[in-house]
Amino acid sequence: MSCEQREGGENSQNRKVTDFYPIRRSSRKSKTELKWEQKKLIDDLITNGIEEGMEVQHIEGKGRAVFATQCFQKGDYIVEYHGDLLQITDAKKREAEYAQNPATGCYMYYFQYLCKTYCVDATKETGRMGRLINHSKNGNCQTKLHDINGVPHLILVASRGIDKGEELLYDYGDRSKASIAAHPWLKY
């Protein structure tokens, strides 16, 4: 047998599969690609203030509430808790100002991000729905931090499957005696 035949030349009996079938690449995306695309989609929704799949309704004796107008799967992005992003010292000053007027509701959400304490102050009335989602210890949403270019954004994601027509709820996490005394509904 000649060298050419042994190395897979034209007369070789040992041909490669690719000699008969073209090379095909998978069109499936890697987990990294899928995560990047999902992050980019959420970045765009947050940046553009897009809030879909929800509507505000009035509930007698409760006030405004946000309801799903579509189904959400566990882990789906729901909405941003949108407001002014403050460092803790500025947030405490604002909170003291708000305390002077009992009619001002508390829409301040404190959180830790990269070893710093921040606050999203959503007290100012806007058309955004994240601030209107009510409390429940057994809510169907949960908060999550979402980074866009080093800036933290507080978002709500589905903690379980949510049906169309269901009220969106999350646990505010406030268990202080003073808060529960002022707002007994925090117990539930």
Domains of the chain, by residue range, sit at 29-81+128-188, 83-125
Please report the pLDDT score of residue 167 as a whole number. Answer: 96
29-81+128-188: CATH superfamily:
SET domain (2.170.270.10)
CB neighbour list of residue 76: distance below 8 Å, 6 or more residues apart: 157, 158
pTM, two decimal places: 0.75
Average pLDDT per consecutive 10 residues, the chain (188 residues; last block may be shorter): 49 69 74 91 94 94 92 96 94 88 82 93 92 91 95 96 96 60 49
Q: What share of the chain is helix, strand, coil (3-state, %, to 5)?
A: 25, 30, 45
pLDDT score at 180: 43
Position 113 scores a pLDDT of: 93
pLDDT of residue 98: 85
Q: Which pLDDT score, from 0 to 100, does residue 14 have? A: 77
Q: How far apart are the first and last CA of the chain?
A: 85
Contact between 135 and 171 under an 8 Å Cβ cutoff? The reply is yes
Instruction: Locate 146 and state its tokens.
Output: 């979402």
pLDDT at 102 (0 to 100): 76
79: left (phi over 0), alpha (psi -120 to 50) or beta: beta
Residue 173 is predicted with a pLDDT of 74
Q: Which has the closest alpha carbon to 149: 10, 54, 39?
A: 39
pLDDT of residue 103: 77
